[in-house]
């Protein structure tokens, strides 16, 4: 089984690309969703309170992701502390998930900070979804009802797309004009052919 990482900065549309792979029958592990679940686990909550204080709790004494986000996205040291706690747990969960698909030709691991976390080293190849930054900002502002300032603040905590392009095995352009499905189909054929020992398509 080959492991393919899928990533892209916020607003690029990596989740849309992930859904296309799912339609093609490729299992997709959604790291960001898993991280949210882990974030609310009873084992992690005391450590989060110790690091960030009780202000990250809501009125039901549960982790308030918005309050936590306001802390970590304004302080790179605290963001690193959070990632250091969560990433090993996500990696363990991913390995357990992979065991369920050992007979699958390849799987997709979707994650927002695949390169920043160093997770890309665990994969046979990576797919990067790109889009113009201004379009990304508008998409996230509309999707999450956030101000431009908050969106750009979160973008600053991610690597520039140009840096990620240097490391990516495949690139999907999602600029609102270029058709995405044919690009995904081409990658799917490339990975599938490579599994058969054939020369993959050039992207």
Give the pLDDT confidence of 10-60 residue by residue, as tens digits. 999 999 999 999 999 999 999 999 998 998 888 898 999 999 999 999 998
Q: Is residue 152 part of a domain?
A: yes
3-state class (DSSP) for residue 197 = coil
pLDDT on residue 43: 83
Asked if residue 200 has pLDDT above 60, the reply is no
- Domain harbouring 167, CATH code: 3.40.50.300
pLDDT on residue 199: 41
Q: Is residue 144 part of a domain?
A: yes
d(CA 34, CA 83): 13
pLDDT on residue 196: 58
Relative orientation angle of helices 45-52 and 76-98, to the nearest 10 degrees: 170
Domain count across the chain: 1
Backbone angles phi, psi at 177, to 5 degrees: -120, -35
Give the pLDDT confidence of 150-187 residue by residue, as tens digits. 999 899 989 999 999 999 999 999 999 999 999 999 99
pLDDT on residue 73: 87
Domain that holds residue 157: 2-195
Q: Are the beta carbons of 130 and 161 closer than 8 angstroms? A: yes
pLDDT on residue 42: 84
d(CA 41, CA 24): 32
Give the pLDDT confidence of 87-135 residue by residue, as tens digits. 999 999 999 999 999 999 999 999 999 999 888 998 999 999 999 999 9
d(CA 37, CA 33): 6
pLDDT band for position 9 (cuts 50, 70, 90):
very high
Q: Is residue 33 part of a domain?
A: yes
Q: Is residue 202 part of a domain?
A: no
Q: Is residue 203 part of a domain?
A: no
Q: Is residue 201 part of a domain?
A: no
d(CA 199, CA 197): 7
Q: Is residue 171 part of a domain?
A: yes
Give the dihedral sign, CA 120/124/130/136: negative
Report strand pairing: 2-7 vs 28-30: unpaired
Q: Is residue 9 part of a domain?
A: yes
What are the helix (H) ranges across 99-195? Answer: 133-144, 148-155, 161-165, 180-195
């Amino acid at each position: 089984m080959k492991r393919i990482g899928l990533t892209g900065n916020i607003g690029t549309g990596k989740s849309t690309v992930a859904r296309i792979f799912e339609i093609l029958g490729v299992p997709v592990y959604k790291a960001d969703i898993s991280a949210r679940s882990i974030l609310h686990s009873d084992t992690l909550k005391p450590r989060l309170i110790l690091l960030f204080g009780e202000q990250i709790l809501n009125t039901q004494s549960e982790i308030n992701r918005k309050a936590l986000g306001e802390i970590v996205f304004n302080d790179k040291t605290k963001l690193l502390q959070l990632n250091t706690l969560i990433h090993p747990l996500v990696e363990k969960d991913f390995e357990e998930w992979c065991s369920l698909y050992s007979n699958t030709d390849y799987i997709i691991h979707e994650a927002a900070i695949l390169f920043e976390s160093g997770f890309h080293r665990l994969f046979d190849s990576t797919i990067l979804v790109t889009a113009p930054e201004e379009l990304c900002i508008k998409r996230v502002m509309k999707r999450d009802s956030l101000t431009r300032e908050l969106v750009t603040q979160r973008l600053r905590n991610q690597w520039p797309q140009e840096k990620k392009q240097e490391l990516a095995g495949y690139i999907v352009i999602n600029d609102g004009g270029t058709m995405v499905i044919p690009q995904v189909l081409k990658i799917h054929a490339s990975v599938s052919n490579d599994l058969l020992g054939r020369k993959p398509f050039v992207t």
